[in-house]
Amino acid sequence: MLAVFAPGQGAQSPGMFSPWLELNGVAEQVAAFSEATGLDLARLGTTADADEIKDTAVTQPLLVALGVIAAGQLGLDAADERVVAGHSVGELTAAAVSGALTPKDAVAFAGRRGAEMAAACALVPTGMSVVLGGGDPDAVAAAIEAAGLTAANRNGAGQIVAAGSLDALEAFAANPPEGLRAVRPLAVAGAFHTHYMAPAEQALRAYADSVAIADPHPILLSNADGSAVTTGSELLARLVRQVTLPVRWDLCLATCAALGVTAALELAPGGVLTGIAKRELKGVELVAVKTPDDLDKARALVASSPQHGQGEHTPEFRVVVMPAKGVFTRADTVAEGQPVARGAQIGTVRTNRDEQAIVAGASGVLDEWLRHDGDIVPAGLPVARLSAETSQSGGLT
């Protein structure tokens, strides 16, 4: 089975549109995307310098535009049986590849998302730092939370990104937990995927009312928890919430492994996600599309990848997430390998104010506990992973 990945911020580089504009029809696509966003994407993607294109309001539509252009050149069809996933804003590219959004609507959404997130960043001085090494990812995430920060990206391959106030980030870097290799500041405008982006989420919720969306096909994985999103309405809601929720790319890769992915293709400007997949998806054939010179190799990978769905059922994965930040305790009435009914209590969370039940939003089999009793878990992060033999309506978040 083939996976198609779409990168997020940090993958951009000056002049990245230049070789693509030489291909038939691409200049017309870029002109349409420019009109949809109110930005001169042709100039920004060719002659703008690194400082100009690292502006969040510019980076996001540029990345999604180039991703959908590459997908179009490869002839990726939403009817084909494959799994798609995008990192952060790349999830909009993935939505277009899955047929849930048109390419133009995906780029327009990215333009609005980038503008709203840039505005939110301007309200309070915040930032992000990549945390390398440190052993157990849950322990590293707990140390980040204990420092008053958020584990905003859990990318796999021992890489976690902390986000929050600049003061808290500087203090964390000056006195990192034992075992960490490095804490390095990232050149970003603010604390993406944290509560600091709440104004952007509110604005995008209103914007989403005007967005036409279809059901993704066949499998689109959500950044929130690595689960497969089955309806357009659920996907649109997740795209809005995504700006304040941590990116769980590690869970997306875990789902790819569980689905039996044998090859992965990263859309332009590729390289970052295939680098992570090389360490997380052992034995999987990988191709990163960086320039049009990589298209023939990518087409060969698409043609040679076995198609899933020839009489074989595609499993559905869901996770149960924390409704509030607090201390997690498992329910003693359910165990790994046992069925869980929709609405069944699988644990509790004790906050500073009260204790709340954690319930399953859909029925399934408890595949794996993702947290231990006594773990302090932020709101929105998963505590248990479920699988189901049949599709369930709705989601677990």
Classify residue 225 by burial, with Cβ atoms within 10 Å: 0-12, 13-18, 19+: buried
- Tell me which residue of 361, 385, 359, 357 sits closest to 371, measured CA to CA: 385
Distance, CA of 129 to chain centre? 18
Decide if 313 is catalytic. Answer: no
Q: Is 391 a catalytic residue?
A: no
14 contact partners, CB below 8 Å, separation of at least 6: 48, 49, 50, 53
Asked whether 52 and 15 are in contact (CB, 8 A), the reply is: no
Decide: 149 and 169 in contact? Cβ < 8 Å: yes
**Cα R_g (the chain), whole angstroms:** 20
Cis link prior to 103 (omega < 30° from 0)? no
| Degrees to nearest 5, angle at CA 11 with 6 and 12 | 115
Selecting among 34, 87, 129, 193, the annotated active-site residue is: 193
Asked whether the beta carbons of 383 and 328 are under 8 A apart, the reply is yes
HEC string for 342-359: CCCEEEEEECCCCEEEEE
The one catalytic residue in 34, 88, 98, 222 is: 88
Catalytic residues: 88, 193
